[in-house]
Chains A and B, each alone.
Chain A
């Protein structure tokens, strides 16, 4: 019923090239925009806990049971106490990717294609950085990019056949350990608020990518237009111009809400209009720089 014209190969190529673009942009953007580039490159994020990482974290007094070899003699020599040198714990961050697969995303298929490409590009980016990526629909971590593509398509395919609501899906898969999530969707659902509320409640950092078509963003239909989507029956308006205002109001409402929420939580939020920027470049780069 829902179909995407995009093949595995195309998806692969486009997602890869997009990811490459981001890498390239990484070098050219201004320093202020950068976020922790070193760790970015190492693929590791410092965690606020003691561990076996290479990064120095703190000194602490020796306690009973500490190995003598762990005593930092240089530090201890300056004082009367013995100190132990502790390193931060090193743990790959766990990225959750969620690509909206509800039926309206396939209208037109360009939109879903673009959503796939963006999702996969983000996955590729993280994978290349050695981080753990989990595709929400599949519920398991992705190992390689090729694996990601295969899994992505089958998972999405399975999911879009099912009738599970997005909110349910999200709440089911977001485990308590989840730290951040990237959401790729048109956010034209009624339950957009519920999703965002869910995320804020769980203290998860989210990046929102809103993919819209030009018409969805601007609603420029004129004359006699018969509007269709896959779920709703034929919708016809004799004077489409009258509808425009109310539609744009609704859309603005959603977008205002999203941008307000993201701003307060310091989340990235990108609106991508697919016809306007088919090459998806800079604006999405902020998403991967969480």
Chain B
């Protein structure tokens, strides 16, 4: 269906006859000449009254009228919108049934338009009943005009209740049923039933494959403490991939989102044309992996684009037994208490709960740290032993003089404490030896200049049997410092020194947290994951939703006190129990449990199959295809104009003009019209406003980051400075770059450093000499100088020098200590090199390897595209601002006149 943006302009077509009249006196113009010699011609040609106007061929008139018509129609803005195939006849006993569930979100507007079209074609029926299977309320839709009722209906983030449809089909109220399905099977029995009903005039409208819910995410699987998996299911992989290739937005990305909604990590989603299932793995540090609440598709549309992480299995819970006496010491002189050091060490990596033992065990801690000073009675010892052996707990104990029992120790201990380097001892204090390769600590490096010294040590009884106990760390004299032993399902670990500095410097050193982290990471998490899968939940547990899934679909009227039982968790999310995070009514302190929209064992969802069903009419909702024809009409008008000029010139015997126009016309047809115009437009924009450009590398992700990075930098500049660049442009080295003030050039190995062509060398050289600033970024890749040199062969780049702290680039706008990007050099060596300044004192080339675009790039909602933290991004952006300021103002800030202001500012900062 063709519509017009400004149909009023079409009245202009009425002017055509008038224009036709006007054109009669238009070219070719008839000149009236008085001529005395006419008498001589009388014998040659008979005088005639015939009007010359009639001699203009009809097809010239046609061309001109078409030209005017094309201009009028073009400016009226013709838009082609594919018409809905709505060959369904409505009657008074018709009901329109809309699935309206999660999958309808994708093409909701289209569905509404379809229904609108359905209604409009039967204006003689006043009202038609409508029901959404997701809300189950019947309402009447008017056929006369666009019904606001229709457009107020919203899709819901759960699956439609198809049993209602079955009831409608069984019922006699309705003669004709039009079912707008989302195309998926949720309950096979119900679907089968539906398709076998023959008593009704059932019309099924299914979405176009290209425009249906194509991608669904499974649940978040936690393999180890640091890695998260999510399965991505594609319903029609081949169609989907074709679509992706066509669209501009390039690849899809998955993001891990923490509980506060921040993006932690972004990963591209690799899709293979024949794979229905793709697994994407995220590797995150433990502390970040613990925070992951959801993994979602960037720009998620439906709730199925969000995978929920089970928060119950995400954290390794460390615990310490709360003893009142110890607590006192903890509060009065914390530096003497073991607990303090353990807490400090663990605080860096994981959360620690301190509760009485019973509470600890019921809370399901994975690892318990037990300082030697902790006195536990026999009952508690038994509880602990049981927890270790059966529940797979990890118990970490520390030495103390008061340690009396050998229970839960890997080996039997000598009661005497070995004292080294005291006044009454021959022995000198021993140092911690490097870890053995078989030890789980093998990867931990000991500090070289800060040796860990042990003054007191508890020794194992040499006469006691080893019993599979392992030595994980020793002193230099070979005596053990950390021993461990598997105990049933669990593990007991013993530190032969106390957790406070009176025995050794270990608790003070940086090695201590590493040791504790290593223990929990390798053992506690592995064991707890293993146990969690066997976790049993009692049937009495009720759960209530605390957080629904937010997407384009709206969650409303959710009863927050809603309780669901255990079985429901394995089923599809419904209106009664929508997807989201639930908390147990039994155990409020327990972590949140996700209710998935679609149970993963049903994924990928089956598609409704109509191929064997003949008694039902099926229709496909064509994907809405909108084409704007304005430019084509105007182009046609222009071509007609040229054609007309050419013909007129020919008729007036002005062959040269005609030839010129002809050449232009043919040239236009042959040249790649739009491309050329695009580049011209771009250059025009660049020439009239400040514009940054990036060199196209061919790698979609890099180009995307470059664009997003420059755009973010542009926004930052607009917000903070008087530089207001327009949208960054993609350029190639084959076009003229001189209109751009700054060109960002990401060079990494994937963009194939194979040297430049002569033309490209010219381009770059002319850009540099024209005063542009070339910002080359090797994006963290180490590129050999020789390789770079050969790459730039032919381009005159002045010698490079490293940018030092006192360089003006550090203070062109912000006072910066470091020019940073995504990869920061902590080594203190300068990350950025610059070419020797030209005559105006400004360098024209800046080379760095810190990946600026990666650090700058933000998505539309302001989240970084790559995992960089706020501070890092801010610093990178400030660096970017300084670079841009350098490009525009050169060494302006080097002028001594600014020294006063700068010093004052620096003073303020140091205060």
Contact status of A226 and B50, CB under 8 A, knowing A232-B42, A241-B653: no
Contact between A223 and B652 (Cβ–Cβ < 8 Å)? yes
Decide: A226 and B31 in contact? CB cutoff 8 A. yes
Using CB atoms, name the residue of chain A closest to B48.
Answer: A236
- Chain B contacts of A105 at CB under 8 A? 36
The answer on a CB contact under 8 Å between B38 and A232 is yes
Q: Does the CB pair B36–A213 fall under 8 Å?
A: yes
- Beyond A223-B652, A224-B52, A235-B45, whether A107 also contacts B34 by CB under 8 A is yes
Asked if B34 and A216 sit within 8 Å, CB to CB, the answer is no
Given known A-B contacts A233-B47, A238-B52, A246-B44, A225 and B30 have beta carbons under 8 A apart: yes
| Interchain CB contact under 8 A, B30 and A235 | no
Q: Is A67 an interface residue (CB 8 A)?
A: no
Using C-beta atoms within 8 Å of the partner chain, give the interface range for chain A: 35 or more
Residues facing A in B1-53 (CB within 8 A) are: 28-45, 47-52
Q: A111 interface residue, CB < 8 Å from B?
A: yes
Instruction: Tell me whether A224 and B36 are in contact (CB under 8 A).
Output: no
CB-defined contacts of B378 to chain A, threshold 8 Å:
none
Whether A229 is near chain B, meaning CB under 8 Å from some CB there, is yes
Interface string of B255-277 (1 = CB under 8 A from A): 00000000000000000000000
Report A-chain residues with C-beta under 8 Å of the C-beta of B39: 104, 188-190, 229, 231-232
Residue tally, chain B, CB below 8 Å to A:
27
Q: Looking at chain B's contact residues, is the secondary structure mostly helix, strand, loop, or mixed?
A: loop
Query: A228 is contacted by which of B32, B43, B44 (Cβ under 8 Å)?
Result: B32
A237-B45 CB under 8 A given contacts A107-B35, A224-B52, A229-B36: yes
Judge whether B55 is part of the interface by a CB distance below 8 angstroms.
Answer: yes
Q: Bound complex: CA of A45 vs CA of B492, how far in Å?
A: 158
Q: By the criterion CB–CB under 8 Å, are B653 and A224 in contact?
A: no
> Contacts A232-B47, A233-B49, A238-B52: A107 and B32 contacting too (C-beta < 8 A)?
no
Query: Chain B: which residue is nearest A236 at the CB level?
Result: B52
Is the Cβ of B44 less than 8 Å from the Cβ of A247? yes
Q: Closest CB-CB distance, A234 to chain B, in whole Å?
A: 6
Judge whether A216 and B45 touch: CB under 8 Å: no
Choice from B42, B49, B652 contacting A234 with Cβ under 8 Å: B49
Tell me, rounded to whole Å, the shortest Cβ–Cβ distance linking A111 to chain B.
6
**Do the beta carbons of A229 and B38 come within 8 Å of each other?**
yes
- Judge whether A228 and B35 touch: CB under 8 Å: yes
Residues of A within 8 A of B36 (CB): 104-105, 107-108, 111, 186, 188, 213, 216, 229
| B653 x A227 contact (CB < 8 A) | no
Query: Shortest Cβ distance from A282 into chain B, in angstroms?
Result: 25
A108–B40 Cα gap in the complex (Å)?
16
Mask for A102-125, Cβ within 8 A of B = 1, else 0? 001101100100000000000000
Bound: A107/B38 CA distance, A: 10
Is the C-beta of A243 less than 8 angstroms from some C-beta in chain B?
A: yes
A residues less than 8 Å from B652 (CB atoms): 222-224
Contacts of A243 in B (CB 8 A): 41, 44-45
Q: A108 CA to B31 CA in the complex, in Å?
A: 15
A20 in contact (CB, < 8 A): no
Instruction: Decide if B44 touches A235 in the complex (CB within 8 Å).
Output: no
Assess the B40–A247 pair: CB atoms within 8 A. Answer: yes
Q: Mark A234-254, 1 if CB is under 8 A from B, else 0.
A: 111110010100110011001
A231: B residues at CB distance < 8 A: 39
**Residue numbers in A under 8 Å from B34 (CB-CB):** 107-108, 227-229
**Residues of chain B with a CB closer than 8 A to A216's CB:** 35-37
Question: Once bound together, how far apart are the Cα atoms of A105 and B39, in whole Å?
Answer: 11
Is A221's CB within 8 Å of the partner chain B?
yes
Q: Is A59 an interface residue (CB 8 A)?
A: no
Let me know if A215 is at the binding interface, CB within 8 A: yes
- Contact among B35, B41, B653 with A222 in the assembled complex (CB-CB below 8 Å): B653
CA distance A138 to B406 in the complex (A): 161
Contact of B31 among A223, A229, A241, A251 (CB under 8 A): A223
Question: Which A residues are in CB contact (< 8 Å) with B40?
Answer: 188, 247, 250-251, 254
* Nearest CB of chain A from residue B30's CB, rounded to whole Å: 5
Q: For B31, B34, B41, which residue has the most chain A Cβ atoms within 10 angstroms?
A: B34
Bound together, the chains give a CA A221 to CA B45 distance in angstroms of 16
**Distance of A108 Cα from B44 Cα, bound (Å):** 22
Q: Which residues of B contact A241 (CB under 8 A)?
A: 653
CB-CB under 8 A from A189, the residues of chain B are 39
Among B37, B48, B49: residue with most chain A CB under 10 A: B37
Q: Which of A213, A235, A238 contacts B47 (CB 8 A)?
A: A235
A173 at the interface (CB under 8 A from B): no
User: Chain A residues with Cβ under 8 A from B653's Cβ?
Assistant: 222-223, 241
A233 contact set on B, CB distance < 8 A: 47, 49
Q: Is A2 an interface residue (CB 8 A)?
A: no
Q: How far is the CB of A228 from chain B (nearest CB, A)?
A: 5
Asked, given contacts A235-B45, A243-B44, A247-B40, whether A229 binds B52 with beta carbons under 8 Å apart, the answer is: no
Q: How far is the CA of A218 from the CA of B365 in the complex (A)?
A: 115
Q: Looking at the complex, which one of A221, A223, A228, A254 makes contact with B28 (CB distance below 8 Å)?
A: A223
Cβ of A219 < 8 Å from any Cβ of B? Answer: yes
Which A residues are CB-close (under 8 A) to B50? 236
Contact residues in A for B47 (Cβ distance below 8 Å): 232-235
Least Cβ–Cβ distance between B606 and chain A, in angstroms: 76
Q: How far is the CA of A235 from the CA of B45 in the complex (A)?
A: 9
Q: Are B55 and A227 in contact (CB under 8 A)?
A: no
Residues facing A in B293-338 (CB within 8 A) are: none
With contacts A236-B48, A241-B653 taken as known, whether A215 is within 8 angstroms of B55 at the C-beta atoms is no
A251-B43 Cα distance, complex, nearest whole Å: 13
- How far apart are A255's CB and chain B's nearest CB, in angstroms? 11
Q: Say yes or no: A235-B29 contact (C-beta < 8 A), given A222-B653, A223-B652, A243-B44.
A: no
| CB neighbours of A237 from chain B (8 A) | 45
Contacts of B33 in A (CB 8 A): 215, 221, 225-228
Within 8 A of A (CB), among B35-80: 35-45, 47-52, 55
CA distance A186 to B32 in the complex (A): 21
For residue A251, give the distance in angstroms from its CB to the closest CB of chain B. 6
Contact code string A82-107 (vs B, CB < 8 Å = 1, else 0): 00000000000000000000001101
Residue of B nearest to A211 (CB): B36
A125: min CB distance to chain B, Å: 27
CA distance A238 to B56 in the complex (A): 10
By the criterion CB–CB under 8 Å, are A227 and B38 in contact? yes
A 189-228 to B, binary, CB cutoff 8 A, 1 in contact else 0: 1100000000000000000000001011001011111111
| Smallest CB separation, A37 vs chain B (Å) | 37
Within 8 A of A (CB), among B629-658: 652-653
Contact: B29 with A224, CB < 8 Å? yes
B-contact bits for A134-175, CB 8 A (1 contact / 0 none): 000000000000000000000000000000000000000000
Which residue of B has the minimal Cβ distance to A242?
Answer: B45
Cβ of A226 and Cβ of B32 under 8 Å apart? yes
Q: What separation, in Å, do the CA atoms of A250 and B55 have in the docked complex? A: 28
Please give, as numbers and ranges, the residues of chain B lying within 8 Å of A235 by CB-CB distance.
38, 41, 45, 47-48
Greatest chain B CB density within 10 A among A190, A225, A227, A237 is at A227
B35, A227: Cβ atoms under 8 Å? Answer: yes
- A222 to B49, alpha carbons, bound, how many Å? 20
The 7 closest A-B pairs by CB, nearest first: A107-B36, A229-B38, A250-B40, A216-B37, A227-B35, A246-B44, A104-B36
Q: Could you jot down 12 A-B contacts, CB within 8 Å? A: A111-B36, A190-B39, A228-B34, A232-B38, A232-B47, A235-B47, A236-B30, A236-B50, A247-B37, A247-B44, A250-B43, A251-B40
A contacts, CB < 8 Å to B: 104-105, 107-108, 111, 186, 188-190, 213, 215-216, 219, 221-229, 231-238, 241, 243, 246-247, 250-251, 254
Identify the B interface with A (CB < 8 A).
28-45, 47-52, 55, 652-653
Besides A223-B652, A228-B34, 19 new A-B residue pairs in contact (Cβ under 8 A), listed by A number:
A104-B36, A104-B38, A108-B34, A215-B33, A215-B37, A216-B35, A224-B52, A224-B652, A225-B33, A228-B33, A233-B47, A234-B48, A235-B38, A235-B41, A237-B45, A243-B41, A247-B41, A250-B43, A250-B44
